[in-house]
Structure 1
């Protein structure tokens, strides 16, 4: 019950912002032809600014990541496990491309910033638990924008396009470039000028509200019959929000202390990231499926996160 009380206010604000996005699109304030521009703005400008802002504030370096190698390696393995289970579900449910791309991508990418961090802040002190927040944030961003982006875009390349050009386009996305750059600058003790940091802070801060408003806009424009995807989304809810996180908690028992196991469980069990909709839009994928997945998993995590804590208590 304590965990429900922690996340409930946050999820209510999520819901209200999604409703706001739905409403302004229904009223014609934000028409459908504006969504591609909003999506590009969020991915290419807002999210890189948020990455720079967070990592500069915390001063996270490559050495910091190496110092927490245990939880870092297990966290990376967790994303691989999520992707593998996503691929298995796609095969069992016979989900066709490009919806299958979105399903696996939504398995890998979770809402770390707006669900996991508030819970960790409430559960742990700065010395015992909160020190993992910037470390896991850096790994989360890197894995989502490498492994996650790969599964989102797998198989959509133009025929005959050289492999190195495909690899370059995937790796040199604005978000991944920004995180590598800032980790390197932090490692070299190079600080950005205050005016630059202030701009990054201000622009990055709108990612939370604007991202969820965007989800609401996309839900407004769902095609007729799009809710058929609810038949396969139950697999996403069951595996991403409960089965895989609990499995990660159990498997890491012999290697990691209790706090790190809980952190990894929460990261794996976070609802699908709001940027799934934007990625689907940018690459011409099934945006309806992405929007519904984000909405459904966000609502369902109010139930699954308390259940995870109850179930994990059996394996302590």
Structure 2
């Protein structure tokens, strides 16, 4: 299987959209002062609409998640492992707080649509492999916006703010609310009106292009000296894209079938999600590090994904 051919078209569009964002910022069409508004729009409007659209189209329910409890539980454990390795790397590299949050967050949140879906669509049939796409997508979204958001925002709350208010802010984010709502509606066989779903679909469809344009804008505004952290970024790439995914594949050998092991390996080995930049911008974290992490891990996955398949064959 030539995995490069599967991902190459997406990689080309990835470069073009980032270049577009870089160019419009360089020309002054999109100034730095607009970035907070764009990130808020993406996180609070566009991504919830995308979540609603995808789950409604696939009809995913709470019952579906329960029916695939084996892979679901292992997938959730995989995010915990990614976070643990991220924390270990932060400790070993002595990364400063606002950057360390981003490092661990980028370990947890992967670009599910960029790598996982295209490869699963190419490798498997709808009955043997593709059925995991909506299930794992729902779990991915929930874990990223609970566990992932926790590690992104850990320590950034205001001094003296009650713990229950902090918890409420983290749990009642627009994306998590939308996924819980739609899973519940689907479980009750309640469908959204056609015009509402059409609006959500149209708004959600701009998430990929607008998200990468945002990354390009942030790269344009990278501060001088931002690339001093390349050493820790390579540590991020090595652990997230290769070491942890391979470990997950090995550990799940005794309990899961081969197809599910490959699915979990791909999910763990996906490059850092584009949304990392927006979260960093919203919470005053190291946005330069987030942008560079997205760029570096996306490029590196062209090498690590074929390497994962070659190496995992030794443990079948």
Fold match (TM-score > 0.5): yes
TM-score, with normalisation over the residues of structure 2? 0.99
Deviations 1:122-152 (A, max 9, x none): 1111001000000000000000000000000
Deviations 1:259-316 (A, max 9, x none): 0000000000000000000000000000000000000000110000010000001001
Q: How far 1:3 sits from its partner (Å)?
A: 1.0
| SS at structure 1 position matched to 2:152 | helix
Q: How far 1:114 sits from its partner (Å)?
A: 2.0
TM-score, with normalisation over the residues of structure 1? 0.99
Q: How far 1:4 sits from its partner (Å)?
A: 1.5
Counterparts of 1:283 and 1:182 in 2: how far apart (Å)? 27
Deviations 1:69-119 (A, max 9, x none): 000000000000000000000000000101000000000000002221111
Counterparts of 2:10 and 2:155 in 1: how far apart (Å)? 36
Counterparts of 1:20 and 1:312 in 2: how far apart (Å)? 37
Counterparts of 2:183 and 2:63 in 1: how far apart (Å)? 9
Deviations 1:15-42 (A, max 9, x none): 1111111011101111000000000000
1:204 equivalent in structure 2: 204
Counterparts of 1:283 and 1:5 in 2: how far apart (Å)? 37
Counterparts of 2:254 and 2:11 in 1: how far apart (Å)? 34
Counterparts of 2:270 and 2:306 in 1: how far apart (Å)? 12
Unaligned runs of 5+ in 2: none
Equivalenced residues, count:
316
Counterparts of 1:236-315 in structure 2, within 5 Å, are 236-315=236-315
RMSD: 0.6
Unaligned runs of 5+ in 1: none
Counterparts of 1:30 and 1:3 in 2: how far apart (Å)? 35
Q: How far 1:204 sits from its partner (Å)?
A: 0.3
Counterparts of 2:114 and 2:195 in 1: how far apart (Å)? 26
Counterparts of 1:28 and 1:121 in 2: how far apart (Å)? 40
Deviations 1:219-247 (A, max 9, x none): 00000000111111010000000000000
Q: How far 1:179 sits from its partner (Å)?
A: 0.1
Deviations 1:44-91 (A, max 9, x none): 000000000000000000000000000000000000000000000000
1:126 equivalent in structure 2: 126
The runs of 4+ residues in structure 1 deviating greater than 3 Å are none
Counterparts of 1:290 and 1:277 in 2: how far apart (Å)? 5
Counterparts of 1:93 and 1:302 in 2: how far apart (Å)? 26
